[in-house]
Amino acid sequence: MDTIFYNGRFKTMDKINPEIEAVAVKNGIITRTGKDEEILALAKAHTKKIDLGGRFALPGFSDSHLHLIYYANTKRKVELSQAKSIEEVVDLCKAGIQEEDQGDEWLLGCGWNQDDWNVPVFPTRADLDKVSEDIPVAITRTCYHATVVNSKALEVLGLEKDIPILSNGIVEVDKHGKANGILRESAQNIIWNRMGVPDIEDLKDRIEDACLDAASKGITAIQTDDFETFTGDTMDLVIRAYKELVSEERLPIRIYQQCLLRTPEKLQGFLDKGYKTGYEFGFYKIGPLKLLNDGSLGARTAHLRKPYWDDPSTSGVPLYDQEKLTEMIKMGHENGMQIAIHCIGDAAIEMAVNSFEKVMLESPRIDPRHGIVHCQITDLDLIERIKKLNLLIYAQPIFIRADRQIINQRVGTELGNTSYNWRAYADRNIHISGGSDCPVEKFDSIPNIYCAVTGKNPENDSDPPWHPENCLTVDETIKSFTAEGAYAAFQENERGTISVGKYADMVVLSGDIYRIPESQIKNIQVEMTIVNGEIKYSVS
């Protein structure tokens, strides 16, 4: 044996051996589990013995949807998530300019959410002009579906004179027809097209640093959407960076790439290079074709069947029409790709279900494991159709922290009451894998688990639970962040439970999440993260 982890209280998520005391590991694989005395008896002279001191352990957490390189980039931007007003946003941006000599460079900020403010309105160019009239400023909303820029940025971008008409993006204008600084959906690309791309070594450093941050939260595997983090066609650069990190033994956790390829041409170019779901290079694996079918609820770009309750002038922004969406799904499906579609609004979800029904009926495939990312604004009829198609749900329970303030305002009480309905998925045995959508939310699995179990805001005990009848049990939630995360990546035979023959991916926690009151779940801390039998993070 290479390593033995003993004197622990392991909840394995394996029905055959649900609770054990010790795990033996060789070559990164679990070779035996059981009682301390029987596992310690397997030790050789060279075997490492790790005493867990009676602490509680689970299979390593899996985050089924995030944007790892986006997160890495946010560490180099002004963090605005704690701002409670436009004035605080302005002050934080001013401080960002003072901390670094910006020169002619852009000042970039991210993470603001007007729904957390006393006056919940979007900032505009006029607000950001108070930051600087000489330096271009761009601040991106927490959902990453809207960005606000100042007048200098509008000048640099050429938007002071010409306002483009986009099919799936909006450059907002004021009553005089002048750009007000708010860019939604694909209009943001006008900004990002001006930004540079890091060199390969810088990109690798960013990825490695972000992965270590994830490991510190007990995460041993992620699904990440990275291909459009930077302007232009950077798919090859991203894949090369991950593969070089694997070769250099610098990739600390497992990566399942959600491949954002918006057009048939981009998808065909990807396929022509020999890539498809299942292509594997060590810890790096190609996952599903990722499609974006709408925006976000907070930015009012999620595509709804009916106009927004609080803004009847819009029903959101569909990013495909039905025919184009079906074309993309058909192309991916017939070329062996798993497919994961970002859908938040009920109209976007209905479109996805319609397209999946058509394609899967015409071209049946065994176990394609297609799914819907977010799947927030739903009703029971849509959920029944999702069940019939055996689609996966990539859920982010942590979204309830912020969205609970706006759901009913955006879609009305009746539809709001049936949305974020994890209970309805579980009762129909729909596969639910948990995620964070980081950097939209932090990739800390513990607050995410707390939200799924309690329906409450982990940052405010006084908030009542959001429809507790829609919550999951502790066991169901832990399964969604472990075994179901592995299932969503076709890796249920390799990881997701602490079982003989699977990778030794585990997390050690400060408390037993099954035995403490639900109200205390949010206080649990990650104390050790183990990937392939190696300790990647430890508090000691």
**In a shared domain, residues 364 and 261:** yes
**In a shared domain, residues 215 and 361:** yes
Per-residue model confidence (pLDDT) at position 104: 56
Q: Write out the two tokens for 11.
A: 């909840």
Within a domain: 320: yes
**In a shared domain, residues 171 and 238:** no
Which of 192, 211, 231 lies at the terminal end of a domain, its last residue? Answer: 192
Residues 443 and 221: their CA atoms lie apart, in Å, by 12
SS3 state of residue 35? coil
Q: Which domain holds residue 519?
A: 198-528
CATH number assigned to the domain comprising residue 332: 3.20.20.140
Domain count, the chain: 2
Residues 203 and 227: their CA atoms lie apart, in Å, by 13
Look up residue 464 and give its DSSP letter. Answer: P
Residues 226 and 191: their CA atoms lie apart, in Å, by 18
Within a domain: 26: no
Which of 158, 192, 226 lies at the terminal end of a domain, its last residue? Answer: 192
Residue 55 phi/psi, 5-degree rounding, is -75, 160
How close are the terminal C-alpha atoms of the chain, in Å?
24
Q: Is 415 left (phi over 0), alpha (psi -120 to 50) or beta?
A: alpha
Contact 436, 65 (CB under 8 A): yes
**In a shared domain, residues 219 and 332:** yes
**In a shared domain, residues 418 and 489:** yes
Q: Is 384 left (phi over 0), alpha (psi -120 to 50) or beta?
A: alpha
CATH number assigned to the domain comprising residue 168: 3.10.310.70
- Tell me how far apart the 2 most distant CA atoms of the chain are, in Å: 80
Per-residue model confidence (pLDDT) at position 471: 96
CB atoms within 10 A of CB 516: 14
Per-residue model confidence (pLDDT) at position 101: 55
**In a shared domain, residues 310 and 429:** yes
Residues 345 and 293: their CA atoms lie apart, in Å, by 9
Within a domain: 18: no
CB atoms within 10 A of CB 453: 25
Within a domain: 537: no
Within a domain: 53: no
Closest Cα to residue 336, out of 270, 281, 411?
Answer: 270
Contact 41, 49 (CB under 8 A): no
Per-residue model confidence (pLDDT) at position 477: 98
**In a shared domain, residues 335 and 465:** yes
| Half-sphere exposure (Cβ direction) of 53: Cα atoms closer than 13 Å | 7
Residues 290 and 298: their CA atoms lie apart, in Å, by 21
**In a shared domain, residues 159 and 218:** no
**In a shared domain, residues 204 and 133:** no
Rounded-to-10 torsion of CA 277, 279, 282, 288: -20
Q: Write out the two tokens for 32.
A: 């035996």
**In a shared domain, residues 438 and 417:** yes
**In a shared domain, residues 265 and 304:** yes
Q: Write out the two tokens for 479.
A: 């399964």
Within a domain: 418: yes
**In a shared domain, residues 459 and 346:** yes
* Tens place of pLDDT per residue across the chain (540 aa): 899 999 999 999 999 999 999 999 999 999 999 999 999 999 999 999 999 999 999 999 999 999 999 999 988 899 998 999 999 999 999 998 876 555 558 999 999 999 889 899 999 999 999 999 999 999 999 888 899 999 999 999 999 888 998 878 899 999 999 999 999 988 998 998 888 889 999 999 999 999 999 999 999 999 999 999 887 789 999 999 999 999 999 999 999 999 999 999 999 999 999 999 999 999 999 999 999 999 999 889 999 999 999 999 999 999 999 999 999 999 999 999 999 999 999 999 999 999 999 999 999 999 999 999 999 999 999 999 999 999 999 999 999 998 988 999 999 999 999 899 999 999 999 999 999 999 999 999 999 999 999 999 998 878 889 999 999 999 999 999 999 999 999 999 999 999 999 999 999 999 999 999 999 999 999 999 999 999 999 998
Name residue, tokens 């607000």: 127
Within a domain: 210: yes
Distances, alpha carbon 357 to alpha carbons 361, 426, 511, in Å: 6, 21, 44
Rg (CA), the chain: 23
Give per-residue burial for 479-497: e unless 16+ CB within 10 Å, then b: bbbbbbbbbbbbbeeebbb
SS3 state of residue 165? coil
Contact 302, 294 (CB under 8 A): yes
Residues 92 and 84: their CA atoms lie apart, in Å, by 11
